[in-house]
Amino acid sequence: MSKEIDYRKYAYRQIGEADFKEFRAACSSSPKELTEFLNIGQYMETYNVIDHWNLFSTILHCGEYDCYGLFEGKTLIGFATMSHSARSFGCQIVYWIRSGYHGMGLGKLFMYNLLRDSLGRKGFKFAELIIDTENIPSVKIAESLGLYRIDEWEDFEHGQGSRRSGRYRLYMAIDHLIELEAQAAGVEPIDVLRKMWVEEHLGLIQTFPMEAPKWSLDPNRLRGTLRFVNWRKDSGTGE
């Protein structure tokens, strides 16, 4: 029987300059995980194995990404970026877990909180992950949290935990209000999103900029299957 993890000892929050020492330590101990993260493509040209500050500063201050961390005490054990998706009304999430902390359910815990932020506090209509199909842990996390498998293709592209396999899947977590609208109309949630993209292209509706955290959560935007654990309430750190 596997040992039950006490999720109350882990903290999730946005990353800032004061976290650089922990970021550097996590990078130094996780070269494989960091390389797969960088293989997404945005940061590889700025990456230098002895210049973690350049990498950290580029990600933190380029203006396109919000950065988040999962901590055990003061130790950074997970790092993620959230940016606007190429598709309007949503965001793309990319994350990695520090070496030595795999197989403990922490990737799922981290992703759960990233989805709470994106669909709840920030009000995005969807959050997407592009995952290399050979990255089995990330695939399992997406499917165990009930994300929709939207598409799959073969191409030399980059994706979450890229193994450069050339095979990728697009997963989405979708705003529960859209799911309810789709259910009432007898269509799939992705069909409602596609309709919104068409309406935006025609100028009938507008997209919105990424908002600063509001530290309040609209629970109606999260489907029940995305409620991983009520660990914040149990730990006394509820929002």
Dihedral of CA atoms 197, 203, 204, 207 in degrees, nearest 10, equals: 60
List the chain pLDDT tens, one digit each, 239 residues: 346 778 889 999 999 999 999 999 999 998 888 877 776 544 444 555 567 888 898 888 888 889 999 999 999 999 999 999 988 999 999 999 999 999 999 999 999 999 999 998 888 999 999 888 888 999 999 999 999 999 998 875 554 554 556 788 999 999 999 999 999 999 999 999 999 999 998 999 887 665 444 445 566 666 655 544 443 433 333 33
Residues 200, 206, 212, 218, CA torsion sign: negative
Rounded Cα distance, 206 and 80, in Å: 27
Rounded Cα distance, 226 and 231, in Å: 13
Rounded Cα distance, 96 and 39, in Å: 12
> Could you tell me which CATH class the domain 7-228 is placed in?
alpha beta
Q: Among candidates 108, 118, 113, which has minimal Cα distance to 145? A: 108
Backbone angles phi, psi at 111, to 5 degrees: -65, -40
Q: What is the pLDDT of residues 172-192, one digit of tens each?
A: 999 999 999 999 999 999 999
Q: Hey, where are the domains in the chain?
A: 7-228
Contact present, 98 and 71 (Cβ < 8 Å):
no
pTM of the model: 0.82
